[in-house]
A and B are shown apart, each in its own frame.
Chain A
């Protein structure tokens, strides 16, 4: 696609429920990144994919968080048993390999856990 597409744009869920966030990167971008941004905070790295593999999962905050990428394209971030502290904007970005020209971000998914 022309840009990085994320869905849903907004998600309100009850504490304890599971959620899935989707990211469709720019066509041809082999690298895909997930970040989250809490209100007034900086960007917190979650996970990075190169193709379908995830060389760096160091940012996932707990084992409730997981992500996968299939076909070198779409990625899904899953949060199990959501907690209120998971409320944030989840941003996906993609780049050509190496990210030498920077990332392109999607518009994000605003997750609210009530």
Chain B
């Protein structure tokens, strides 16, 4: 079983819609959860992190964490063509350790 699993997509949404990206993780003791965006040919950049159950909002982005279900998601409201990228979910089992990355979900926002 992979540490972190994501639907590879591609996921296509029309401009202005809500894009929903999902991620599950295997280690119930995982402590912190991250979403990275990676444009083609570029390195990943951090969008958001979340530690506690519930929602965390930052502008058009909302991260949602459900530790009981071992599930973390990213919602992008009012999707823009510039949001088209691969979104990587990352999980940190314990402070000071490496992150485990999913293989990413490719998102295309259609103008």
**B85-111 interface code vs A (CB 8 A; 1 in, 0 out):** 000101010011111111110000000
A22 and B101 CA atoms in complex are apart in Å by 22
Answer whether residue B26 sits at the interface, using C-beta atoms and an 8 A cutoff. no
Contact A41 to B100, CB < 8 A, known contacts A99-B95, A103-B46, A105-B45: no
| B44 at interface by CB-CB < 8 Å | yes
Known A45-B101, A98-B95, A99-B32; 11 more pairs at CB < 8 Å: A31-B96, A35-B101, A42-B102, A43-B44, A48-B98, A56-B98, A99-B95, A101-B49, A105-B43, A105-B44, A108-B43
B28 contacts chain A at the CB level, 8 A cutoff: no
A residues bordering B, Cβ < 8 Å? 31, 33, 35, 41-43, 45, 48, 50, 55-56, 59, 91, 97-108
CA distance A105 to B90 in the complex (A): 13
Contacting residues, chain A, for B103 (C-beta < 8 A): 41-42
Residues of chain B at interface, number, CB under 8 A: 23
Determine if B46 and A102 form an interchain contact, defined as CB atoms under 8 angstroms apart.
yes
Q: How many inter-chain residue pairs (CB < 8 Å) link A and B?
A: 56
User: Contact: A42 with B88, CB < 8 Å?
Assistant: yes
CB of A41, distance to nearest CB on chain B (Å): 7
What are 10 residue pairs bridging A and B, where the CB atoms are less than 8 Å apart in the complex? A41-B103, A43-B101, A45-B100, A55-B96, A99-B97, A102-B34, A102-B90, A103-B46, A103-B99, A105-B45
CB-based contact B95/A43 at 8 Å: no
Q: Which residues of A contact B32 (CB under 8 A)?
A: 99-100
Residue of B nearest to A105 (CB): B43
Residue of B32, B97, B99 with most chain A CB atoms under a 10 A cut-off: B99
Cα–Cα distance between A68 and B96 once the two chains are bound (Å): 18
| A97→B95 CA distance, assembly (Å) | 8
Query: Whole-angstrom distance between the alpha carbons of A91 and B90 in the complex?
Result: 15
In the complex the two chains form, what is the Cα distance from A39 to B101 in whole Å?
A: 15
Residues of A within 8 A of B60 (CB): none
- Closest chain-B Cβ to A37's Cβ sits at a distance in Å of 9
A97 engages B96 (CB within 8 Å): yes
